[in-house]
Amino acid sequence: MNKLIRTDLAVSRERALLVCIERPDSRLDPHDPLGELRSLAKTAGALVVDEMFGKRRKIDPAYYVGSGKAEEIAERAEAAEADVVIFDNDLSPAQVRDLEGVIDCKVLDRSELILDIFASRAQTHQARLQVELAQLEYTYPRLRHMWTHLERIAGGAAAMAGIGTRGPGEKQIETDRRLAQRRVTDLKRAIAQIDQRKVRTIQGRSEMFRICLVGYTNAGKSTLMNLLTDAGVLTEDRLFATLDTKTRKWRVGPAVMTLLSDTVGFVRDLPHHLVASFRATLEEAINADLLLHVADASHADVENQIKSVFAVLAELGCKDKDQILLLNKADRVKDPAMLTALAAAYRGSRVISAVNALGIEEMIEDVLARVERGRVSLTLRADFRNGRLMQYLAQHAELSSHQWGPQTVDMQAVMAVADADRLAQFVPDVRVLDRSAVDE
C-alpha cells in the first residue's frame, strides 16, 4: 500500500525503522541493544515498524554502515513503509545526506532524536531557549548538506533577476548561515542572563545544605522527590519526564532543613550541545553539597547506566562530589541475588524503592550523617526575652538540656556551621560558651 495514502489509525505517527550499529567502544545493553533507542523513538511519538542490528569495527565515511548495508536498510524501509530511519549512532552531515539519497526517506541520528524529544518536552521559557540553542548548534554545520536544493542566487543582473531579487547576489546557504549564527548569538546572550540569575539564586541558598537528585532518565528521581517533599512533581514511566529543575525544602531531621532539587535525567551519549545548553538547569548539581544518584536497579543494563551518569557528572566537573548511590525500584527486581551483588559492587550504596518507601529511613540516616559533617555542637547562653533570637534557634538548631535563669537560658544546641556563624547578629543577647564539631 502506498504509504502516502494510508488511512489507518497510525497515519498520525511516523513509522520508524530503527538501526543500531555496535562498535568496539559501544556501551549497549547486551540483553536488548535496541531497547533504549526503541524507548527514545516511542517517546518522540514514532511507531516502530522494524529494527536492524549489526556490528562494525570501522565506520564507512560515506554511509557509516557501508554501501551494501545502506541498500539493505533501504529495502527494509520500503518493505515496512517507513517514514523515517533512526540510527542509534551519531552521523556526520555528509553521511545523513548520502544515506537519504539511498534510502529515499528521512534519516535521523541519536543526537537529533534526543534534541527533538527535549524540544517537545520544554515547557518553560528557559528550557525552550536552551533546546533551541542546542538544536541550532547541532544544525549549523549541517546546513550545507541540508539545503543543497536551495543553492540558488538570491540576486543577479537586472536582465536575469526577477523583481525583488536584484542585488549583489548571495547563495541561500550563506543567508541561512548568517541568520542561524545571529540567532545563536542572541540565544547565548539570553541564556547567559538566565545563568547569572540562576547562579545568584543558588548562591543565595548557600546557608542551607543543598542536595541534588541525579541519575539516568526514568530511574525514579521525581517519584523519590515527591515521596520526600510532597513536591507534586510530574512522574511518568517515560524518558525525560522532567526537564526543568524543581527545588523544595526537605526536613531531614527535627531541626535539619535542607534543599532538595530534581534535575533532568541523563542518557548514554547525551549530546554535548545539550549538556552545554542545559548547564544553568544543571547548576543545582554543580553547586550541591551532596548528590543522590538514583539508579534503576531493575533495569538489565543498570551498570552501564550508572557509568553513563558518572561520565556526565565528570563533564560537569562533579565527578568527585560527595554522593550516595541509591539502587531504586527494588520492588521490581525479580532476582534478589542480583540486587545483593549490585549493592556489594557499589560500596556505600542503598537499596530503596520510592514507590513503597523501602529503605528510605536508612537512606535518610545516611543523608543526615553527611549533613552532620557540616554541623557544630554549641553551649549557649541566650536572653529568652529576645523573641527573634529564640525563634531563630528553634528553626535552625536542635536544642536540649535547658537551664533557666532569671533572664537567660543555658542550652545545648546542634546546628549548621553557617547558622552558628550568624549568631553573631544577636550579640549581646547570646553568648557561645563552648563550640565543637559534632563528630568529635
290 shares a domain with 157: no
Please check whether residue 369 is in contact with residue 342, taking contact to mean a CB–CB distance below 8 angstroms.
no
pLDDT confidence bin for 5, thresholds 50/70/90: very low
66: which DSSP letter?
-
| Mean of per-residue pLDDT scores for the chain | 81
Residue 391 phi/psi, 5° resolution? -65, -40
Stretch 246-250: mean pLDDT, rounded? 86
Rounded Cα gap, residues 162 and 150, in angstroms: 17
Burial class of 85 by CB neighbour count within 10 A (0 to 12, 13 to 18, 19+) = buried
Q: Quote the number of domains for the chain.
A: 4
Would you say residue 18 lies in a domain? yes
pLDDT in tens, 357-378: 999 999 999 998 888 777 788 9
Would you say residue 113 lies in a domain? no
381 shares a domain with 283: no
pLDDT confidence bin for 267, thresholds 50/70/90: confident
360 shares a domain with 231: yes
337 shares a domain with 391: no
Instruction: Give yes or no for residue 1 having a pLDDT over 60.
Output: no
218 shares a domain with 365: yes
Closest CA to 219 of 274, 265, 262: 265
Stretch 396-420: mean pLDDT, rounded? 85
292: which DSSP letter?
E
Closest CA to 28 of 295, 301, 238: 301
378 shares a domain with 262: no
Cell of 159: 536582465
Please check whether residue 37 is in contact with residue 18, taking contact to mean a CB–CB distance below 8 angstroms.
yes
Which range has the top average pLDDT, 86-90, 116-120, 206-210, 314-318?
86-90
The pTM assigned to this predicted structure is 0.69
262 shares a domain with 312: yes
95 shares a domain with 143: no
Rounded Cα gap, residues 184 and 146, in angstroms: 18
The whole domain housing 427 covers 374-437
303 shares a domain with 227: yes
pLDDT in tens, 292-346: 999 999 998 899 899 989 988 888 888 888 899 999 999 999 888 989 999 999 9
